[in-house]
Chain A
Amino acid sequence: GESVGLHLPTLSVQEGDNSIINCAYSNSASDYFIWYKQESGKGPQFIIDIRSNMDKRQGQRVTVLLNKTVKHLSLQIAATQPGDSAVYFCAENRPNNAGNMLTFGGGTRLMVKP
């Protein structure tokens, strides 16, 4: 498979442990945030989103936390599985742009050890 980034930060966790992936965003006016998962050779896959009027949102095995004070977003994965191994990106939507556009972070590689 191909590498989506040669110098990505990497998080290595044991299977069954919880994972926390962090993202700092730059624009205090950003009002919508998304987490994507990208496996080798595939496109980014939507995981979960959160609007700026919330500080927490839960999905199946995933939770996103938003701290607007420090412009920080995190993705928590419960009971991490080998299939969770991938690159994870955060993305932010900045208001006053047309086209529902997103700005993407550089990504974090999650490696799950069996």
Chain B
Amino acid sequence: DAGITQSPRHKVTETGTPVTLRCHQTENHRYMYWYRQDPGHGLRLIHYSYGVKDTDKGEVSDGYSVSRSKTEDFLLTLESATSSQTSVYFCAISESPRGGNQPQHFGDGTRLSIL
């Protein structure tokens, strides 16, 4: 396994509350990513990071923010959760593509339910 820990693994919360999901890696990889996975949509990129304090938006970034203050941690925050953000969230990591592209490796996900 790739040394990626996501926490919490499951969370149930109410609409309007803030939620923070954590991704921790022990591989010292440069790139980290947050995805959401929903039936009928597959994996969609929310935000990604290409280094400490360096982040950028993905395909479905509205309603989400991220922070990366250390190489090993990448946080995803829902400032005010909505029911449409009920999903399974996956973190992924990859090395720098110095010698060509590198695969992304995934954590086991956080199942988030917003009531």
A interface residues with partner B (beta carbon < 8 Å)? 2-7, 31-32, 34, 36, 41-46, 49, 51, 89, 91, 93, 98-102, 104-107
Q: Which residue of A lies closest to B49 (CB)?
A: A99
Q: Enumerate 22 A-B pairs (CB-CB under 8 Å) in ascending A order.
A: A2-B111, A3-B39, A4-B39, A7-B39, A7-B40, A31-B101, A32-B100, A36-B106, A41-B108, A42-B108, A43-B107, A49-B101, A49-B103, A98-B50, A99-B31, A99-B50, A100-B94, A100-B96, A100-B104, A101-B45, A101-B48, A107-B42
Fill in one digit per residue for B25-61: 1 if any A CB lies within 8 Å of its CB, else 0: 0000001010001011011010010100000101000
B88 to chain A, nearest CB (A): 7
Question: Are A46 and B56 touching (Cβ within 8 A)?
Answer: no
Q: Of A51, A104, A106, which is within 8 A of B101 by CB?
A: A51
User: Residues on B close to A: CB < 8 A?
Assistant: 4, 31, 33, 37, 39-40, 42-43, 45, 48, 50, 56, 58, 88, 90, 92, 94, 96-97, 100-109, 111
A43: B residues at CB distance < 8 A: 4, 90, 92, 106-109
Extra A-B contacts (20), CB below 8 Å, given A2-B111, A5-B40, A7-B40: A3-B39, A4-B37, A5-B42, A41-B108, A42-B108, A44-B43, A46-B105, A89-B42, A89-B43, A93-B101, A98-B50, A98-B56, A99-B33, A99-B48, A99-B50, A99-B56, A100-B31, A100-B94, A100-B96, A100-B101
The dominant DSSP class at the A interface is: loop
Report the bound CA distance from A106 to B108 in whole Å: 19
Q: How far is the CB of A22 from chain B (nearest CB, A)?
A: 16
